[in-house]
Amino acid sequence: MLPELTNLLPPERVRGQRQLYFFRLATVGMLVLSGVAIIHGVLLLPSFLYARQQVKEKETILSSLTATLAGSEERQVSARVSKLTEDATYLARLKDRPAASTAVAAVLEVPHQGVRMTGYTFTAAEEGKEARMTVSGVASSRETLRRFEQALAAEPYVGSTNLPISAYAKESDIDFTIELVGTLLP
C-alpha cells in the first residue's frame, strides 16, 4: 500500500463527512461533560447532608445552652460581668491615651519667659492619627516666641510644631497659635 491515501469522494461529500464527524464529536463531548456534572453532583450530596446535620446539631446544642442560662439571676450576673469587662477595657485603654490636663501641665512646664498663654485646645489621639494640641497666647518679642517654639519642639512627647510665619510679622506683643502634634504623653 502507498503511504499517500487518495480520497475519491467529491469535495461536497468530503465537506459533508467532515461536518458530520465534528457534529458527532461535539455530541460525545457534551455527553461526557453532562456525565461529569451529574457525577460531581451525586458526589457532593453526602457533603451537603453532613453539613446540614452539623448545623442542626449545633443549633440544638445552642438552644439547650440558652435554656440552661435562662434563669434571671444568671442573666443579671452575665450582664454585670459584661459591663465590668467593658469598664476594665475602657480603663486599660486610658493609660495609653493622653489626657488634656496632663498635656496642658506638660506645656506649662516648658520655659516660657516673656510668653503669656491664653488658650488651649486638645484633640486626643485616634486610630491612625496622633494627638493634637493648639496653644494660643501673646509673646513679648520675636526672640521669646522663637525660643518658646524651639523649647516645645525639643520635648520628647511632641512630634512636630506648626507656627505660621505670619506670627513673626509684628516685633512686639505678638499674638500666636502653635499647633503641637505627637503622642503628648509626658
Q: Where are the domains of the chain?
A: 10-95, 100-182
Cell 494660643, located at residue? 136
The mean pLDDT value for 75-85 works out to 82
Predicted pLDDT of residue 7: 75
Residue closest to 179 by CA, chosen among 168, 166, 164, 165:
164
pLDDT of 52 above 80: yes
The mean pLDDT value for 170-180 works out to 90
Contact (Cβ atoms closer than 8 angstroms) between residue 144 and residue 116: no
The mean pLDDT value for 144-164 works out to 90
In CATH, the architecture of 100-182 is 2-Layer Sandwich (3.30)
Residue 25's pLDDT band (boundaries 50, 70, 90)?
very high
pLDDT of 34 above 60: yes
**From the centroid of its chain, how far is CA 116?**
42
Could you tell me the pTM of the whole model?
A: 0.50
Span of 94-98, 155-159, 166-170, 182-186 with lowest mean pLDDT = 94-98
pLDDT of 1 above 60: no
- The vertex-90 CA angle with 92 and 88, nearest 5°, equals 70
Contact (Cβ atoms closer than 8 angstroms) between residue 163 and residue 137: no
Mapped onto helix, strand or coil, the DSSP state of residue 118 is strand
**What are the beta bridge partners of residue 180?**
133, 161
